[in-house]
Structure 1
Amino acid sequence: MKGEIKLVTGNSYKFKEFQELSKGRVKFVRVDSPKLEIQADNLEEIVRYSAVTFYSLFSGPLLVEDSGLFIKALNGFPGPYTSYVKRTLGCNGILKLMERIENREASFKSVIAYIDGDKLALFKGETEGTIALGVSGDKGFGFDPIFIPTGYTITFGEMELTEKNRISHRGKAFQEFLKFYESYL
């Protein structure tokens, strides 16, 4: 295991996911995220900006992650605005927007940024699926209770953390980061 990495997030559940994903291979220290997130049309731009900004505040190696729910019939909405839409519309608001829409294809995308004094690197993950007809499950966070990953009949909100992490967008992005991190240092 290498040294500590600051994980900048205001989301305690996301921190728990990262700890479970690392399985002790990375030591994370949670740093509460001040709200500095820019509004941009892509996740890469958001995490790149956040990583550079947070590095100037906290120094030392750190990770920043952003993710979004991209619904095909809604032209990718809410996408990079997922957090705001979750706070304002919630799961039921998205379901209301999806009423009478047959094409329920969606994907969750995640981008992780790693930064230290020498390097800024981005890692991406994506999970395809569909929007459920109703809210189901009380696990996870965000839009987990309305997202059914391809090949499953249950939502992320119904999955145990280890199962979700195995197939999730964040889990896939983290595995890419881990490959880099273990060979980089």
Structure 2
Amino acid sequence: MPLIFVTSNQHKFEEARTLAEEYEIEIEQRDVPYIEIQTDNLADIVKPGAQQAYRMSGAPCFVEDAGLFINALNGFPGPYSSYVFKTLGNQGILRLLEGVDDRRAEFRSALGYCGNSIKVFEGKVKGTIAKEERGSKGFGYDPIFIPDMGGEGTFAEMSMEMKNALSHRANSIEKFVKWYSKNKKAEGG
């Protein structure tokens, strides 16, 4: 039986599927409309989200939330990254940083799992915000985020394999699939 990844984001699902396959874990995407609480901590968002998705789907599942935390903006947009991206986009973030020298930022990811246990797995990657959008791969803030490890390219200039070797989401998903592959039987998988 496949493990359920509750997300409406096809890009997130493809990243997770690629990583899960490496551990011979089959995942299935479902768009279960759970309520995402608003708070400043990603782990506090995904834990109740995973519990709610589990109750609604009736099967072990996981959810993931991520945020871009920009130092010069005191961590903004952080857990509100999706809303900010929809309203301001990458160009809006670049305008907020015009004339700012400190362009350091961090992408963070939290993955919440609910089955026979409830777990949260977190990942992050440090980097900087580019001065302009670059690249056509990926999604969201990928065209403006340059990870510290991986050269001078943005996530949007990298292959999925390269991005998965570096990204915040890949980090949290990899922690999860390693744990799940060891605990699959205990979790009903």
**Secondary structure in 2 aligned to 1:36?**
coil
8 Å Cα contact 2:34/2:53 also seen in 1: no
- Work out the CA distance in 1 between the residues paired with 2:32 and 2:135: 27
Corresponding residue to 1:14 among 12, 15, 19: 12
**Secondary structure in 2 aligned to 1:154?**
coil
**Secondary structure in 2 aligned to 1:136?**
coil
- Work out the CA distance in 2 between the residues paired with 1:110 and 1:132: 20
Give identity over the alignment, percent. Answer: 45
8 Å Cα contact 1:129/1:150 also seen in 2: yes
1:163 corresponds to which residue?
A: 162
Ranges in structure 1 where 5+ consecutive residues have no aligned partner: none
8 Å Cα contact 1:4/1:61 also seen in 2: no
The number of equivalent residue pairs is 182
* TM-score in terms of structure 2 length: 0.93
1:177 partner amino acid? F
**Secondary structure in 2 aligned to 1:101?**
coil
How far off its partner does 1:35 sit? 5.7
How far off its partner does 1:33 sit? 3.9
1:23 corresponds to which residue?
A: 21
1:143 corresponds to which residue?
A: 141
Corresponding residue to 2:118 among 117, 120, 125: 120
- Work out the CA distance in 2 between the residues paired with 1:26 and 1:183: 11
Question: Alpha-carbon deviations, 1:41-64, whole Å to 9, x = none?
Answer: 110111011111111111111010
Q: What is the RMSD computed on CA atoms of the aligned residues?
A: 1.1
- Work out the CA distance in 2 between the residues paired with 1:115 and 1:35: 13
**Secondary structure in 1 aligned to 2:106?**
strand
> In 2 relative to 1, CA 143–33 (structure 1 residues): closer, same or farther, beyond 3 Å?
farther
**Secondary structure in 2 aligned to 1:56?**
helix
**Secondary structure in 2 aligned to 1:66?**
strand
2:187 corresponds to which residue?
A: none
* TM-score in terms of structure 1 length: 0.95
Q: How does 1:98-137 map to 2 (within 5 A)?
A: 98-116=97-115, 118-137=116-135
Ranges in structure 2 where 5+ consecutive residues have no aligned partner: 185-189
